[in-house]
């Protein structure tokens, strides 16, 4: 006979919950580059037969596989940081006067982050949960390339997209 321990249902549930909390959401986003307009943007829609830009030029496409959940988590941290910066600017009357243009830039940045979140949800086809934990415990797990001067996190996917097409032309 083997000397095995009895299976604990509670331990099994905790193990499953931990696996679920750490499960990535794989997906694909596409970087688009118009060679005539020199614009770079992203989309969640893969076009297997190519596409044309509004100027009529054929668009260069680069599909990138990524963890949608990690991107969503990074973006949620960025939204929290933007909110903190906006609140900080409201603390004093002098700061309010000086920071009017900064507030407008932060609001535009928040809108772009919210658009990115909606695109991530469309790519996933469902609501995406964030990874549990604080930023310091998740830094090694998330694909963070750098932190900008405002304290916002730049993910590997969003880091210097125009260089992806320059590298692709060298091949």
Q: Where are the domains of the chain?
A: 24-170
Place of tokens 């993910």: 155
Q: Residue 104 has which token pair?
A: 């407008």
pLDDT tens across the length of the chain (171 residues): 455 777 777 777 777 777 776 788 899 999 999 988 888 999 998 888 888 888 888 899 999 999 999 999 999 999 999 999 988 887 777 777 777 778 888 999 999 999 999 999 999 998 999 988 888 888 888 899 999 998 999 999 999 988 888 766 555
Burial (CB count <10 Å: 0-12, 13-18, 19+), residue 97: exposed
Helices 100-124, 68-89: crossing angle, 10 deg rounding: 160
């Amino acid at each position: 006979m083997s000397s095995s321990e009895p299976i604990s249902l509670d331990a099994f549930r905790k193990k499953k919950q931990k696996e679920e909390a750490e499960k990535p959401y794989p997906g694909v986003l596409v970087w688009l580059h118009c060679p005539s307009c020199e614009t770079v943007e992203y989309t969640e829609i893969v076009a297997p037969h190519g596409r044309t830009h509004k100027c009529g030029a054929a668009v260069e496409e680069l599909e990138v596989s990524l963890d949608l959940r990690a991107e969503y988590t990074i973006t949620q941290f960025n939204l929290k940081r933007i909110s903190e910066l906006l609140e900080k600017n409201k603390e004093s009357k002098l700061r309010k006067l000086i920071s009017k243009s900064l507030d407008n830039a932060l609001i535009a940045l928040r809108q772009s982050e919210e658009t990115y979140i909606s695109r991530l949800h469309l790519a996933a086809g469902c609501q995406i949960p964030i990874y549990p934990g604080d930023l310091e415990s998740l830094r090694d797990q998330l694909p963070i390339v750098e932190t900008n001067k405002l304290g916002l996190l730049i993910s590997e996917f969003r880091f210097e997209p125009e260089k992806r097409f320059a590298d692709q032309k060298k091949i």
